[in-house]
Amino acid sequence: MNKMLKKSKLLLVAFAFCMQTAFVLGQNEKSKNNYLFNDSHFHLTNYIQEGITAAKFLEIMGNKVGRSTLFGIPLQQQWSHQNSGDYSPTYYLQTDAPLYYYSFTDAFIAMQYKSLTKEQQARFDPMITGFNPADMYAYKHIERVLRTFPGVFTGIGEFSIHKEFVSAKVAGEVASLTNPALDSILDFAGKVGLVVILHNDMDMPMAKQKSNPVYLNEMRDLLKRHPKTTIIWAHIGLGRIVHPVGYGSESSNERSPKHIDIVKDILDDPAFANVYFDISWDEVAKYIISSPEVIERCAALMDKYPDRFLFGTDVVSPPDQKFYMAVYEMYQPLWKALKPETSEKIRNQNYLKLFDGARSKVRAWEKANIKQ
């Protein structure tokens, strides 16, 4: 009898332990999956290569953001005393002086990442940006960074080809969608498994909508040439004054297709199965939430293709969490309009799918190609 009681007590203790363990694991899993979003587009530093530390950014992310990309800005704004005198510009709109490519940004990002614990590092996906996309040697820079900092980087970008105001200010050869240097970059990214975040305005600034967007055909051709490379088209091809196609059109006989229809055509086409869109930047948010009708159309498109969109803030070196979360909060009308499962994919799951996949592929390439 005593043996039976003793055995029963042991079983009860074991059962209680299992239940407690399951509860803790469940709580941990809930906590892990209870983040508001993973950030697919984040700049740690600004146009004069200043910003916050990765450790500070972790504090800002807190328990609201699970994972984030980590990159600087590949361009440095020159301080030309002849142009702005004693005023030191911190943004490209504050001076007429040129921008130039700043390769040290990759080493800075790598060292910020390496300063963290392994647990902290797991929340970041550093990206390589410090290359000139008009340089045939650019892919060699990317390879050199991977060999110098194995185990660190997940992708390349955000880097720009056509970008309002910026492209014309960059010193040297102008980047182009038809330049074979860009093809060599995307070929190498596909070979290694690096995910690519590419900024390319779909149209010229303040375009008169009487024809197709000026850069659309070249962008489509570029994407088709690289079916094995995972490419995120940043900001859905929009900009500060690069409006959605058809935006503000007064004519009912407008010949130009609407922006949402262009995006839908790309998503419909199996040739672009490797292409994704991010809805980062407050300048993009202002278009998407501009009216109930636009919100409804955008939500319908995203509900139809829930696996092809990612959310990113495009915030640069935020001073605090309130500043950092502002873009996410702007999108509240969209989050409410989406199906819950679509919202979860755009805010969280699509990031994990793309960046976890890239991590695995890049680490495998490093293992096969870099002597430790």
Mean pLDDT of the region 81-104 = 93
Range 315-324 average pLDDT = 98
Is the CA virtual torsion 254, 239, 135, 81 positive or negative?
positive
Residue 256's pLDDT is 53
Q: How far is CA 109 from the centre of its chain?
A: 15
Count of structural domains, the chain: 1
Give φ, ψ of 220 to 5 degrees.
-60, -45
- Is residue 361 one of the residues assigned to a domain? yes
Average pLDDT over residues 203-229: 89
Segment holding 127, helix H or strand E:
strand 124-128
In tens, the pLDDT along 29-56 reads 333 468 999 999 999 999 999 999 999 9
> Reduced to 3 states, what is the DSSP secondary structure of residue 36?
coil
C-alpha–C-alpha distance, residues 64 and 351, integer Å = 15
Mean pLDDT, range 196-207, rounded to an integer: 91
293 in any annotated domain = yes
On the question of pLDDT at 207 being above 90, the answer is no
Task: Name the burial class of residue 56, with classes exposed (0-12), middle (13-18) and buried (19+) by CB atoms within 10 angstroms of its CB.
Answer: middle
**Phi, psi (degrees; rounded to nearest 5) at 163:** -145, 125
Is residue 30, in this structure, part of any structural domain at all?
no
User: pLDDT at position 218, please?
Assistant: 98
pLDDT higher than 70, residue 210? no
Q: Is residue 6 part of a domain?
A: no
pLDDT band at 24 (very low <50, low <70, confident <90, very high): very low
- Give the pLDDT mean for 266-286: 97
Residue 160, in any domain of the structure: yes
The position carrying tokens 């229809």 is 261
Nearest to 230 by CA among 136, 359, 113, 326: 359
What letter does residue 258 receive in the DSSP assignment?
A: P
Cα–Cα distance between 294 and 278 in angstroms, integer?
A: 17
Closest CA to 334 of 282, 368, 298, 286: 298
Distance CA(32)–CA(24), nearest Å, equals 12
Averaged confidence pLDDT in the chain: 90
Show the domain range for 177: 38-79+88-247+278-369
The answer as to whether 3 is a domain residue is no
CATH code, domain carrying 62: 3.20.20.140
pLDDT of residue 22 exceeding 60, the answer is no
Distance CA(67)–CA(40), nearest Å, equals 8
* Integer Cα distance of 71 and 156 in angstroms: 9
The pLDDT of residue 13: 41
**Domain assignment present for 208:** yes
**94-98, 101-105, 205-209: lowest mean pLDDT where?**
205-209
193 — alpha (psi -120 to 50), left (phi > 0) or beta? Answer: left
Residue 243 banded pLDDT, cuts 50, 70, 90: confident
Does this model's pTM top 0.75? My answer is: yes
Domain presence at residue 365: yes
- For 333, other C-beta atoms within 10 Å of its C-beta total 17
pLDDT, one tens digit per residue, over 151-175 is: 999 999 999 999 998 998 999 999 9
Q: What is the DSSP string of 267-289?
A: HH-GGGTTEEEE--SHHHHHHHT
Taking only the tens place, the pLDDT of each residue in 102-146 is 999 999 999 999 999 999 999 999 999 999 999 999 999 999 999
Q: Please give the pLDDT value at position 76.
A: 93
Give pLDDT, residue 31: 38
Distance CA 279, CA 41 (A): 9
How far apart, in whole angstroms, are the C-alpha atoms of residue 109 and residue 310?
22
